[in-house]
Amino acid sequence: MKRHSIPAFSLSRQIEQHKTALLGALEQVLDKQAFVGGAFVQAFEQQLAAYLGSEFVIGCNSGTDALWMALHALRVPKNGIVLTTPFSFIASSSEIATFGAHPVFIDIEQDTFNISPQLLAAWLEKNAYCEGKTAIHKATGFPIVGIIPVDLFGQCADYRILQEIAETWNLWIIEDTAQAIGATFGEKKAGTLGTIGAFSFYPTKNLGAFGDAGACVTNDPILAERLLQVRQHGRKATGYDYEAFGINSRLDAMQAVVLSQRLPLLEGFNDRRRAIAQIYSSMLDGILGLQLPREIAGHHVFHQYTVLVDDSKGVSLRNELEKYLAGIGIQARIFYPQSLQQISFLNTNAMLATACPVATKVAASCLSLPMWPEMTDEEVLAVCDAVRQFFVQPAAAQQVELS
């Protein structure tokens, strides 16, 4: 099999193509010496709000901080229960635990990799009752306060059903849309489908900065005020007028101008991701033992193109395929190798433990193929050829020459 050099992700071509504009924007920050907060950050926040159709955007240091700030703004109580997905980056659940609250894991849909609204509704019906406007967990007496869905790999969770559940049980929704900026569900953009949306602009994201960066999005002015306050040491403005507990999670101007330059390019980047996904799907369709991602809930922006890899008996071949691809110079990645309910410190109360067999199975067999907007069609087809070759001759594939 021909050797290649295809990384799972690369920014080199994109940076080279847009370097002049990016350097010009960064020079503006150097000339103004306005490095933290200020006009450049405000301009990006307004630009993103207009793109999303939201009232308030509050920039912060990272997607993890965005989740923490959202939980803080919503006053998550100690021993409060937040329902969330077991198949995600750890921040969607670990930040719940930092408040002394409890993440309760609801299994996922195998087709979308997102939290199952049906299983979530069934868990509430079985385990909760309403006392006034508060949902209470029957066994522990703890309040159930909210839901954190994750728009995984670029596809929104099913917010039509999730919003109905939230209204029935008086729960808020923090939409973790770190991987799905530009995706839509119905007429709304990802990040505007819950009470607060939490964004990450880590460099590998569909809209990435050149370092850590994030944002919270909301239409609620009270929540926006709390978010503004908590991100800068508990004060609403500069100076020393502290009104509440806060942290230092400001978006710096260097990252803001990079994001301002790249946001107008986002739709084009996402269109290219979708075109790459279409090639993958057309070329890999019909391979026995390979489950391809499906666009089910809204407009998918393919932050990752993640497949499930099994043999005819359902035994995972994921590791073998990853090694085979690496042996011919194609890098694939595993997101995520462990479902979160399997992590001991996230199981904060034994009475709240849940079984998540779908997430466990997916974690054992998922593999993300190379996905970045500047990939050429030839590179995408080379990946497809390699995957097909592995399934045609899996035994031979495992013995590929590495020299």
**357-401 residue pLDDT tens:** 999 999 999 999 999 999 999 999 999 999 999 998 755 444 444
The pLDDT score that the predictor gives to residue 367 is: 98
CA 16 remoteness from chain centre: 26
Q: Does the model's pTM come out above 0.85?
A: yes
Q: Which residues of 192-212 are buried (b: 16+ CB within 10 A; e: fewer)?
A: bbbbbbbbbbbeebbbbbbeb
Spell out the domain ranges in the chain.
Answer: 12-100+113-265, 266-397
Pairwise CA distance, residues 84 & 120, whole Å: 9
The overall average pLDDT reported for the chain is: 95
pLDDT tens per residue, range 65-100: 999 999 999 999 999 999 999 999 999 999 999 999
Q: Which residues of 356-382 are buried (b: 16+ CB within 10 A; e: fewer)?
A: bebbbbbbbbbbbbbbbbebeeebbeb
**Quick check: 302 and 152 in contact, CB under 8 A?**
no
The DSSP call for residue 108 is B
Cα(first)–Cα(last) distance of the chain, in Å? 12
Residue bearing tokens 């803080």: 72
Quote the CATH superfamily of domain 266-397.
Aspartate Aminotransferase, domain 1 (3.90.1150.10)
pLDDT tens per residue, range 138-182: 999 999 999 999 999 999 999 999 999 999 999 999 999 999 999
Pairwise CA distance, residues 317 & 306, whole Å: 14
pLDDT tier for residue 239 given thresholds of 50, 70 and 90? confident
Architecture label for domain 12-100+113-265: 3-Layer(aba) Sandwich (3.40)
pLDDT tens per residue, range 269-297: 999 999 999 999 999 999 999 999 999 99
